Amino acid sequence: MQNGKRCSGCQRELPLNAFHVDKGHGDGRASRCKSCRAKWVESRKAERVSYNAQYYARNRDKRIAEIHEYQRLHPEIQVRYRHRYRARKHKALGGHTFADLVAIFEKQNGVCFYCNQRLASIHNGHFDHVIPLSRGGSDNPDNLVFACPPCNWSKHARLPDEIEGQ
């Protein structure tokens, strides 16, 4: 077959597009066809899971130290992880990105949703779930508002109309 290749797994002659690109091979294609490769990967799943568990057990302290160092160097990642964990714990639907948070801050002109206090930057305030996660609110941008820390801390898991003085 001029525009093909023999699979080392099933021994069939197949067109080149039936093989993954692999620049490590002389002809630029993997030795097994995509179908055989998928079967081979599936057959090794249990072995891979076992190996990964053993590796983690042997290197647990090292991995935890690496994770903590990464989080120390990237505090925004740690905050995002903590927020997503909390949303998953409450089985909240949706999600948001940092770009969504910036858009909310700009839409509110840096002003607290509850008391209208202006905050100097996005890092001086909090993003609050209008309908709290604990009461079935989503983690989508349309359920988030920018708030000053005292307002967010005093709101707890209440709805805006349940807050006195509003």
Give 71-120 pLDDT, tens digit per residue: 899 888 888 888 889 899 999 999 898 899 999 999 999 999 999 999 99
pLDDT (mean) for 133-155: 93
Q: Which of 49, 30, 28 is nearest to 38 (CA)?
A: 30
- Asked if 161 contacts 130 with a C-beta cutoff of 8 angstroms, the reply is no
151 and 102 share a domain? Answer: yes
pLDDT at residue 75 in the model: 84
pLDDT (mean) for 18-35: 92
Q: Does the pLDDT of residue 2 top 80, yes or no?
A: no
The pTM of this model reads 0.57
99 and 85 share a domain? Answer: no
Q: For residue 29, what are the contacts with CB-CB under 8 A and spacing of at least 6?
A: 5, 16, 19, 20, 21, 22
102 and 163 share a domain? Answer: yes
pLDDT digits 0-9 by tens, 107-126 = 999 999 999 999 999 889 99
Q: What band does 3 get if pLDDT is binned at 50, 70 and 90?
A: confident
Q: CATH no. for residue 108?
A: 1.10.30.50
The amino acid that residue 47 corresponds to is: E
| Structural domain count of the chain | 2
